[in-house]
A and B are shown apart, each in its own frame.
Chain A
Amino acid sequence: MEVLIYLVPTALLLGLTGLGAFLWSLRNGQYDDVEGAALRVLRDDDISP
């Protein structure tokens, strides 16, 4: 059962990373324009002709 000593903190840390990533994306305005983001990904204006 000693394995729990590092498994449990790892699990928690992973969860916290996910939570942190979500809160970051929220603050960064990633959800302000959900439909637009889906369409902008299809633009190819970054490819030089």
Chain B
Amino acid sequence: MAETLDLSVFVKHQDDGTAHLDLAIEGIDCAACIDEIEGGLCRLNGIVDARLNYTTHRLAVQWQDGAIAPSAVIEELQRLGYRAHPYQSRLVEEDEARRSQWLLKCLAVAGFAAMNIMLLAVSVWSGNVTDITPETRDFFHWLAAFIALPAVAYAGQPFFRSAIGALKAGRTNMDVPITIGILLALAMSVVETINHAEHTYFDSVVMLLFFLLCGRYLDQAMRRRTRAVAGNLAALKAEVAHRIDETGEAVLVPTAALKPGDRVLVRPGERTAVDGIVIAGNSELDESLVTGETTRRVAIPGDVIYAGSMNYDGALTLEVTAAGKGTLLDEVELLLETAAAAKSRYVQLADKVARAYAPVVHLTAALTAIVWIASGASAHDAIITAVAVLIITCPCALALAVPVVQVVASGALFRSNVFLNSGDALERLASVDTIVFDKTGTLTLPEMRVVNADAIRPDLLEAASRLALSSHHPLAAAVARESKEHRPYEEVTEEPGQGVRALVHGVELRLGNPAFCGATELAAQPAGDDADISLIAFSCGHERAILRVRQTLRPDAVATVRALQDIGVDCRILSGDRPEAVAPIAAALGIREWRGGAKPADKIATIEALRTEGRKVLMVGDGLNDAPALASAEVSISPITAADITQAHADAVFVGDRLAPVLAAVTVARRACALMRQNLLIALVYNLIAVPLAFMGYVTPLIAALAMSGSSSLVTLNALRARKVSGKAMPEGSRPANSTSAAPALQGA
């Protein structure tokens, strides 16, 4: 980066005279990176501290305020070979971090109490069958009460708060029976201790709490990990713009620093980062990320331009109308609101079970008490048995059944380059029977590629691609991608609107439009067969070559779509592009149901129609025009190259050039969901055995402890089976030898 980036919005000035900057770092792959980055930065003058978090790939830098410019830090990192992006920690993420710390503290307290009380309880159990004196037993029971009461008061808070919240709103959730069970069992145990009884349930209560907190913490940990990834991705995508200040000079600033009314310069080959109105300049725009349309639009002063448009020919000056997150068409925004409201109606599997479970448990306990009293037992015995039923049915395994699978499955998805945005997405992904793909940027690669590279002499192609490295034109970027050496020629001149030329060993090389290279006759021949192809001419002395550039399918798109069809998923295409452009893609993929020229409202209507047919729709799309459709579908996935707002509404994001992650997402989710059901079944079977025993009064604290830890372990072990999935998910022949993916840079974050 030749220009300096103005980062002042991201810098925090602290009271002790130091400044602080958080950065998300790209390209960390080994332990040596820690030394290289921290050591390298600390050699700079004025740096007080640099600390890299290897888990989240974030770097915290502190320096003496004024001693060094923040951009110098980024430049130094660039020199070391790492790309750094200013990172603003978001409110949600901080909340999640605080909550997960709190849960961990509760877990520690519950663990401590469970261990110590179990120590006492085991002594009492073995003493009861040998020679314990009543005095010693009472002493142990009082001691257990002394530990359990404060521990439950502290560690039970997550459940108590959630239960009170649910009751206030007039609902019940899983936490209501948990809270009632815990409180009743505690109260009963205290009464029993006062009455010098043989059995108390202090150990069951704290152990129950410990297992339940494990489930809660895992759930939280997964959500936090997803948020951290989402935060990094947002920072990696953070775009920059040239702001024109009062003196007319262009300063490079992050888009987050732009305000409506600012003037921004958009040069050829740049993607606009903001919505704005053209105030000067003429150009052609590629708005495929916005509308899905691949033909270019002419922009003249007075036109409105949306963020995400690619500027092709001339420099444009824009007046910013919206910056950062608010960049959106009004129409899309309106559609989004209604669509998102429809989605929030989805009820998670665990909640569904909880709603049915709580009343059943309470009825059974009440029934137990009534039956025992009716059969002539004392009120004391009846209540003790009823409480035993409540404890044994406390949804311990039930509370672990879903979160453990979610954690394991999302780990498996991480390895397949899929990042979940929401935990319940797994359940919705599993139910999918129809996938609607967008075309541009989703089935096809987001960038252009040279299609006839094989037909051109290798040395000509290499020369052309090295020359293309010096051009800003987006079509040239496609040619540059063919380059093996990545060394641009020296002294290349760019002629705006024409092409680039350079003199190499006395031979003139030219790359640009056919007229510029004197190849108009050659260009005229193959132009007829496909409307989508753009032509670039190359001349080297007397030799001429025509490079044909177009958007190509993702390398494994055909195999992936076939594999999806094989597992019984109906694949369709719904594109905003012209039907003539969609037809060949649909034919190549073997997709019969397709539609082109769809506006955002049409996309929603199509998806709504599919949903009323009773289908569960997965929408895969990247454009701004897809955002409402993504929100209205049952579940949605978008590639990492998608527009910001689109990504925010997708349930999952995938990285890399291949389409296989979509297949992996569906297969992993299906397996995970099957395991969740299995786990719930295990919990149910356990209850079917344990409840009658408790009903008859056979359950002692020892049996309760064994049953609880047994079923919890079983459920956890079963969940681990969700790990070995990804192997089968890949269709044969879709794995390229050099399957380099973007994921390692983000994994573990």
Which residues of A line the B interface, CB within 8 A?
1, 4, 8, 11-12, 15-16, 18-19, 22-23, 26, 31-36, 39-40, 42-43, 45
Q: How far is A20 from B518 in the complex, measured between Cα atoms in Å?
A: 80
Q: How far is A31 from B725 in the complex, measured between Cα atoms in Å?
A: 29
Q: Are A19 and B112 in contact (CB under 8 A)?
A: yes
Pairs A-B, 4 closest by C-beta atoms? A36-B54, A39-B31, A19-B112, A33-B53
Q: Contact size class for B? A: 20 to 34
Q: Are A36 and B34 in contact (CB under 8 A)?
A: yes
Q: Are A35 and B112 in contact (CB under 8 A)?
A: no
Which of B53, B56, B105 touches A23 (beta carbons < 8 Å)? B105
27 contacts between A and B (CB under 8 A): A1-B133, A4-B139, A8-B143, A11-B119, A12-B147, A15-B115, A16-B112, A18-B112, A19-B109, A22-B108, A23-B105, A26-B101, A26-B105, A31-B104, A32-B53, A32-B55, A33-B53, A33-B54, A33-B56, A35-B55, A36-B53, A36-B54, A39-B31, A39-B34, A40-B34, A43-B34, A45-B39
B627 near A: Cβ within 8 Å? no
Which of B35, B101, B133, B139 touches A43 (beta carbons < 8 Å)? B35
Kindly provide the distance from the CB of A6 to the nearest chain B CB, expressed in whole angstroms: 14
Q: How far is A29 from B109 in the complex, measured between Cα atoms in Å?
A: 18
B116 near A: Cβ within 8 Å? yes
Q: A35-B54, A43-B35 are in contact. List 4 more A-B contacts (CB 8 A).
A: A19-B109, A19-B112, A35-B748, A45-B39
Kindly provide the distance from the CB of A40 to the nearest chain B CB, expressed in whole angstroms: 6
Supposing A8-B143, A23-B105 touch, asked if A42 and B31 sit within 8 A by C-beta, the answer is: yes
**Residues of B contacting A16 in the complex (Cβ-Cβ under 8 angstroms):** 112
Residues 17-64 of B contacting A (Cβ, < 8 Å): 31, 34-35, 39, 52-56
Q: How far is A42 from B406 in the complex, measured between Cα atoms in Å?
A: 33
Q: How far is A26 from B104 in the complex, measured between Cα atoms in Å?
A: 8
Q: Are B116 and A12 in contact (CB under 8 A)?
A: yes
Q: How far is A8 from B116 in the complex, measured between Cα atoms in Å?
A: 10
Which residues of B line the A interface, CB within 8 A?
31, 34-35, 39, 52-56, 101, 104-105, 108-109, 112, 115-116, 119, 133, 136, 139, 143, 147, 748
Count: A-B pairs, CB below 8 Å: 49
**Residues of B contacting A35 in the complex (Cβ-Cβ under 8 angstroms):** 54-55, 748
**Residues of B contacting A36 in the complex (Cβ-Cβ under 8 angstroms):** 34, 52-55
**Residues of A contacting B119 in the complex (Cβ-Cβ under 8 angstroms):** 11
**Residues of A contacting B147 in the complex (Cβ-Cβ under 8 angstroms):** 12
Across the two chains, which residue of chain B brings its CB closest to A32? B53
Kindly provide the distance from the CB of A14 to the nearest chain B CB, expressed in whole angstroms: 9
Which of B53, B55, B108 touches A26 (beta carbons < 8 Å)? B108
Kindly provide the distance from the CB of A31 to the nearest chain B CB, expressed in whole angstroms: 8
Q: How far is A22 from B214 in the complex, measured between Cα atoms in Å?
A: 16
Q: How far is A1 from B139 in the complex, measured between Cα atoms in Å?
A: 12
**Residues of B contacting A43 in the complex (Cβ-Cβ under 8 angstroms):** 34-35
Q: Are A11 and B54 in contact (CB under 8 A)?
A: no
Q: How far is A8 from B144 in the complex, measured between Cα atoms in Å?
A: 11
Q: How far is A23 from B388 in the complex, measured between Cα atoms in Å?
A: 33
Kindly provide the distance from the CB of A4 to the nearest chain B CB, expressed in whole angstroms: 7
Q: How far is A34 from B116 in the complex, measured between Cα atoms in Å?
A: 28
Across the two chains, which residue of chain A brings its CB closest to B54? A36
Q: How far is A39 from B53 in the complex, measured between Cα atoms in Å?
A: 11
Across the two chains, which residue of chain B brings its CB closest to A1? B136
Kindly provide the distance from the CB of A9 to the nearest chain B CB, expressed in whole angstroms: 10
Q: Which of A18, A19, A32, A43 has the largest count of B CB atoms less than 10 A from its CB?
A: A19
**Residues of B contacting A19 in the complex (Cβ-Cβ under 8 angstroms):** 108-109, 112
**Residues of A contacting B31 in the complex (Cβ-Cβ under 8 angstroms):** 39, 42
Q: How far is A43 from B105 in the complex, measured between Cα atoms in Å?
A: 31
Q: How far is A43 from B52 in the complex, measured between Cα atoms in Å?
A: 14
Q: How far is A19 from B109 in the complex, measured between Cα atoms in Å?
A: 7
Kindly provide the distance from the CB of A25 to the nearest chain B CB, expressed in whole angstroms: 10
